[in-house]
């Protein structure tokens, strides 16, 4: 029933994009969060507020300038067009900043007394202590990337580069009608990674929300 449907390639594309996006977001988000939480500089408060305010801007509002910028960089119809915009994630910085602020400053001061530099402190002291936040953020970013439909629809033209959501939308027109059995099979297959991510991370997400104060009372 799945003959002629490149579900394997679409699966690989989605997994590859999601994995790279998660890794890049965790690294850049943690570095930016550490700067806002631990490195004092003039205007850090207003800059952090302005950075978070970008979350209130819908993606549809910035899609035209983003498309023009990526076109000038010759990144349209490539997976980098999906990865690079997703890495600049204000929520990632906000979430990890909450965890970093909960790390005792004394740990960092003790490491500096032993001669550790800023990067060593960040890599060996801060990151291990915010592991629950990294797990939570990684799962959230993975699910967002896996389910993304709008950006692949705009930036991808070649069928070999299609992700799973885009493949589900495109194969109807290729077959000239709706095959409900095939649609159900493909939809069920797309849910499997999300179920795995949820089963792995449900406890970590709840624990991290309680630790960061995002869970409320």
Determine which of 27-31, 58-62, 163-167, 211-215 has the lowest per-residue pLDDT on average: 211-215
Cβ atoms of 62 and 154 within 8 Å: the answer is no
Mind listing the domains of the chain with CATH numbers? 7-212 (1.10.3720.10)
- 44 vs 161: CA distance, rounded Å: 40
pLDDT in tens, 131-140: 888 988 998 8
Cβ atoms of 98 and 31 within 8 Å: the answer is no
Q: What is the pLDDT of residue 1?
A: 47
**Which residues are CB-contacts of 131 (< 8 A; sequence separation ≥ 6)?**
none
pLDDT in tens, 135-180: 889 988 998 999 899 999 999 998 889 998 888 777 655 555 666 6
Nearest to 70 by CA among 60, 79, 58, 59: 79
pLDDT in tens, 92-122: 999 999 999 988 899 888 988 888 888 899 9
- pTM comes to 0.83
């Amino acid at each position: 029933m799945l003959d002629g449907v490149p579900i394997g390639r679409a699966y690989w594309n989605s997994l590859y994009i999601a994995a790279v996006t998660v890794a890049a977001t965790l690294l850049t988000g943690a570095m930016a969060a550490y700067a806002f939480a631990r490195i004092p500089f003039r205007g850090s408060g207003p800059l952090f507020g302005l950075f978070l305010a970008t979350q209130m801007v819908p993606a549809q509002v910035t899609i035209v300038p983003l498309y023009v910028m990526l076109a000038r960089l010759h990144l349209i119809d490539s997976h980098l067009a999906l990865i690079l915009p997703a890495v600049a994630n204000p929520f990632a910085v906000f979430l990890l900043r909450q965890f970093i602020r909960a790390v005792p400053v004394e740990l960092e001061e003790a490491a500096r007394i032993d001669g550790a530099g800023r990067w060593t402190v960040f890599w060996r002291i801060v990151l291990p202590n915010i592991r629950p936040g990294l797990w939570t953020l990684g799962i959230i970013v993975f699910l967002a990337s896996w389910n993304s439909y709008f950006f692949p629809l705009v930036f991808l033209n070649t069928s070999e580069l299609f992700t799973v959501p885009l493949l589900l939308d495109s194969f109807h027109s290729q077959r000239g009608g709706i095959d409900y059995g095939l649609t159900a099979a493909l939809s069920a297959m797309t849910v499997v990674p999300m179920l795995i991510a949820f089963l792995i991370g449900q406890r970590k997400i709840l624990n991290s929300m309680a630790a960061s104060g995002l869970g409320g009372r």
